[in-house]
Amino acid sequence: KDYFKVISQNTYALAPGAQEHEIVLNNAGGDDRKVAHIIEVDPNNTDIEILPGYYEIDKFDPEDSSTWKTAGVTAVADYYANELDYNVVGAMNTALQYTNNAPYGFMVYNGQVLANNDLAKGAQTYLAVTKKDDGTVEFDLRSISEALHGDEWQAVSANFGWLVNDGKLSSTSVERTSSDASRSMLGIKADGTLVICQVDGRNAPISTGLSNYEMGEMMLALGCVYAVNGDGGGSSSFVTKRSGSDELVMRSVPSDGSERPTINSIIVVSKAGAS
């Protein structure tokens, strides 16, 4: 936990209930710089909403493969903003499908189950959002083997497995030798806050990325008691619209040199209007 030191940290308001952090880390030798982009979402603020990202989700038909779409996170966020009239303040990729363009694992949109882990297999985890009677929400990270409970308002899958479970690292071996890469992760703090975290990679000396072990280490350091791994590498991308701006901007640096189309993402929406 003492390997990396915080070199700089900046915080930006996105909307009531959501804020963005940009954190730069490095090791003692100064040769392992990492740039992290983070959104924290307050489950108790009824003006913020989390949606599953899927291109042209309003036209999706599980019975018609011609409606199964893929696009980069920026295009998905722009579609939600311009075509679906959401005030999108942030977005990050969660899953890349390799065989077809069906949503990966589970996808629930505004209470409607669009995919029930029956169209595209392979996701290991998913985020479920349920509404409480007072209008607040509960974020829940689950293994893909856990079926939908039937009361989910939103749900979206992540490609890979657990990084942190019940406050403990899922990886039991301390290693920094596996390949560093861009990473996209989801976590939940003890107070229910949702943490959306993307780390740039394969771009030394600007940002080297994270190894498998370091992903869990990062999410623990951010206060997460549960965390899962989304798709990384060239898929890893992160956009926000900061308070006072009307433009969604990619804050990450895609390691492919340009955005890679992805199947699913997570969309952060403000219902409070422009700020």
Residue 135's Cβ-side half-sphere holds a number of Cα atoms within 13 Å equal to 5
The pLDDT tens digits for 173-231 are: 665 556 789 999 999 999 999 999 999 998 888 899 998 889 999 999 999 999 999 99
Token pair in block for residue 61: 């038909």
215: which DSSP letter? Answer: H
The predicted pLDDT at position 99 comes to: 79
Q: What are the C-alpha distances in Å from 139 to residues 42, 51, 96?
A: 10, 12, 22
- The confidence score (pLDDT) of residue 180 equals 87
Question: What is the pLDDT at residue 1?
Answer: 45
Q: For residues 234 and 171, what is the distance between their CA atoms, to the nearest angstrom?
A: 23
What pTM value is reported for the model? 0.95
Reported as half-sphere exposure (CB side, CA atoms, 13 A), residue 86 has a value of 26
Q: Which residues of the chain have pLDDT under 50?
A: 1, 274-275
160 Cβ partners below 8 Å, 6+ apart? 124, 125, 228, 229, 230, 231
pLDDT at 87: 97
Q: What does the angle CA 191 – CA 196 – CA 200 come to, to the nearest 5 degrees?
A: 140
